[in-house]
Amino acid sequence: MRLSALRSVFAAVALGLLVASCGYNTIPTLEEQAKAKWSEVQNQYQRRNDLITNLVETVKGAANFEKGTLEAVVNARAKATSIQITPGDLSDPAKLKQFQDAQNQLSGALGRLIAVSENYPDLKANQNFLALQSQIEGTENRIAVARRDYIASVQQFNTSLRTFPTVLWAKTFFAGTKPMAEFTADEGASKPPQVKF
């Protein structure tokens, strides 16, 4: 009796080690890592949105600043914040594209705001404006890094769904798990910019 109990324990331990070493935990682990990377992307976009409110208020103080430019930033920010992506939506490329397009529109509006501000010497000398401009530029870099990290994490997760031995688990226990969508390049990103002098 004692020997059979020992064999059962040994068999359970061996089975546990076999399951642990063959990739069963890989799929959920990589999925959670990708979701965490997505949270960081959203965190950086939220940081930018918070800074935009302060930037717009600072720019409003500049006399005769172009209202159309400010309205474009405010409207783009409203649209960008209205589109939310949950971790469950990460496998839907259309939703991610919609989110990405709204964020790109906001980036474009911000770029125009910064460019137009060059025509306002008082604004260019405003310390609040300069600090906010610098923080937004830094945040844009953080967004790029967060997106890069998310793309790498999604690539690793998606690859695990198609490679051996985790494909065995993906087809059986995780059959409902779908690949996650990645960010795509903006239209025209592959074309070199036109430089005119």
Average pLDDT, the chain: 86
Q: What is the CATH number of the domain that holds 90?
A: 1.20.1440.20
Tell whether 138 is covered by a domain: yes
Q: Report if residue 39 sits inside a domain.
A: yes
Number of domains in the chain: 1
Task: Determine the structural domain holding residue 61 and report its residue range.
Answer: 33-171
pTM listed for this prediction: 0.79
By C-alpha distance, which of 178, 79, 159, 59 is closest to 119?
A: 59
pLDDT for the residue numbered 196: 45
Residue 149, C-beta contacts closer than 8 angstroms, at least 6 positions apart: 37, 40
SS3 100: helix
Q: Render pLDDT for 114-144 as a digit per residue (tens, 0 to 9).
A: 888 888 888 878 888 889 999 999 999 999 9
37-69 pLDDT, tens digit each: 999 999 999 999 999 998 888 888 775 677 888
Do residues 161 and 59 lie in contact, with contact meaning Cβ atoms separated by under 8 Å? no
Q: Give the confidence band of 197 by pLDDT, cuts at 50, 70, 90.
A: very low
Question: 27-36 burial string, b = 16+ CB within 10 Å, else e?
Answer: beebbebbbe
Report if residue 6 sits inside a domain: no
Confidence of residue 186 (pLDDT cuts 50, 70, 90): low
